[in-house]
Structure 1
Amino acid sequence: MADLQDDLHPDGDLGELGMTGPCSAEAVVPGEPSAPVPDPCDSALHRAHALLAAHPVADGCNALPQALRTLSWYDLELGEGGVDTDVPRLREGRVGALFWSLHVPDGLDGDRAVGAALEQLDLAKAVAAGHEEGLRLARTAGETADARHCGRVAVLLGPAPAAAAGDSLGILRQLHALGLRVLTLAGVSWAGPDGLTRFGEEVVREMNRLGVIADLSGASVRTVRRVLTVSKAPVMCSRSAAHALRPHPANLPDDLLAELGAAGGLCLVPLSAEQTGPSVRDVADHLDHVRGVAGPQSVGLSGTYDSGAAHPQQLSDVSGYPRLIAELLERGWAESDVALLTWGNVQRVLRGADFAAKAAQQRRTPSTARITDLDG
């Protein structure tokens, strides 16, 4: 299996890569129409591959396990045309880590939601175990880096919806023991339009103690602000772009982006036509905006592949990331900022969650609070 460091210079010309605009034309020496000179966009794409070889993409939301449920047979090692994600395309796209979204159907709550989450965890683990030459389960920043160094793509479990915890801190602890790394705080009574309840605050404190990261995509403004106050660990928005550029409900207004950045959180911009727009340039516009408002340390990437979402042109599957990075380099992004975007910021959040958990475990024992005790 080819290592992530291989094939820095992709075969094929720019036309095959589907690039449009001025960069798609072959540059010619004045007075010598038949003598081509290096195309600056080709240089940007080569720079993108080289940069991603050292700082691969950590993709904040990928729904592959759920998509595989519709296939009677698949082989992710050889390549699988029925989904957006497989090992060859992950390597082509220079992806080093994936957060696998755990799907719970809308409307499920209580035991049914818990059961659906457990089935998703079981499926995700089986998929990773069945493709161990390309994928490796990880829980921590260290394990994520180790997987990359071994030429594997690290798989982290989550986000899962808050309903998966069944309003129980004991169930939350068991989900964490099974590998859950991220929980989305939306769609439950204790994290709703009015913000966190007393039980909701206890959930966040227990998540900090365990090392489960709070995902605030889709959460209410009051919930976002209260979590930023209560949480001792960095938080993330697993699939949120800039509301100022595209007023999608899951996108964040500038004031929340600024608060997220000030708190050391991370906004993972989705490669979704609905949330960011139909082109690579649209996605880059959102990345520019989030970086400008929240800071370069608070912006990342979220493919949302295999979630059923439509994707921008040239970003139809996980192999397209180098094209997006080339666009950012053409816009003048410093390589240090790109390295934060693709890999460094996710690693920082993972390390922050690990450090917060170790500190909290010295101060707190597992919480025995129940929702009926705190919220009545």
Structure 2
Amino acid sequence: MERRSFVRKAGLAGVLAAGSAPAIVHAQAQIRWRLASSFPKSLDTIWGAAEVMAKKVSEMTGGKFQISTHAGGELMPPFGVVDGVQQGTVEMAHTAPYYFFGKDETFAIGCAIPFGLNSRQMTAWMVEGNGMKLMREFYRNYNIINFAGGNTGAQMGGWYRKEIKSVADVKGLKMRIGGFAGRVLERMGGVPQNIPGGEIYSALEKGTIDAAEWVGPYDDQKLGFNKVAPNYYYPGWWEGGPQLDFYVNTKAYDSLTPEYKAILEAATYTAHVDMQAKYDAKNPIALKQLVGSGTKLFRFPKDVMEAAFKESMAVYAELSGKNPNWKKVYEDYANFRRDQNLWFRFAEAGFDDFMQSQKL
């Protein structure tokens, strides 16, 4: 018996020494999840984050954990994914949280609010600040656990049929604008429309809307907005650094082993970084092409920016007085934003201002 025991131990030692011991994940059960996206497949940047995440999960589990990705409308409407995850219809979703501000305005803080954090600041708040903790406490009400799902970086201010020369031109403007920012536009006299990405072009072309915003040059060029609205404005004051999220059904997440949970989180962070890298690399090229083909580029007039800022702060104050969820999360967010802007005004802004004035 001692000899057999020795042989068994020696055999195992030999396998380990050879580096061919099966990974822990190989012993895990086969898992198949479905992910419902809010985005069309034509937008390889924002839709692509879901594919990047799913591919990485498969690679790190030797194919044991598979997540099939489905574009907006395939399994459910683009704006139906929160209900889908909450009810367990799908295990996972990829979306922009501010689409769901109608359920509770606090959703928007997890993505972007007007005059909020830029992309680096948002990641800092989520990862090193209290952002992830506070948003996860909030999402428990919806049977959801969230993971970072990408960031577009600061966005453009959209496409307009007519020039915006002053805040007076916002009056009566029918504009497709994402989620929560519509509240501010409405207070400025505009008429916000919440339309999924795949439907914006036809609405703009038919004149159902007067203006539309999506993300930035790369996506906007793909969607063809320049063909129906020649005036392109910046900056997107409502989206300084919008974070996308992966939503996971709590029961589905709790059923995972610790190893699979760690792999899923690592894969979401890979997708998070990948998305903004794509946008930052592709947007400059697309912007040059758009301007070269006749797009007219404008900065928003100062009075438009000032009016938008004033109305945004008024909205936040009102919400803090009536929505306890908002108040709890926004107070922490606002304090973090104040300190971040104090820091960024020196090193980051100082460096950027100099570099962008150089002829390189």
TM, length-normalised to structure 1:
0.28
Specify which structure has the higher proportion of helix.
2
Larger radius of gyration: 2
Indicate the structure whose relative CO is greater, using CA pairs within 8 Å and at least 6 residues apart.
2
TM-score, normalising length from structure 2?
Answer: 0.29
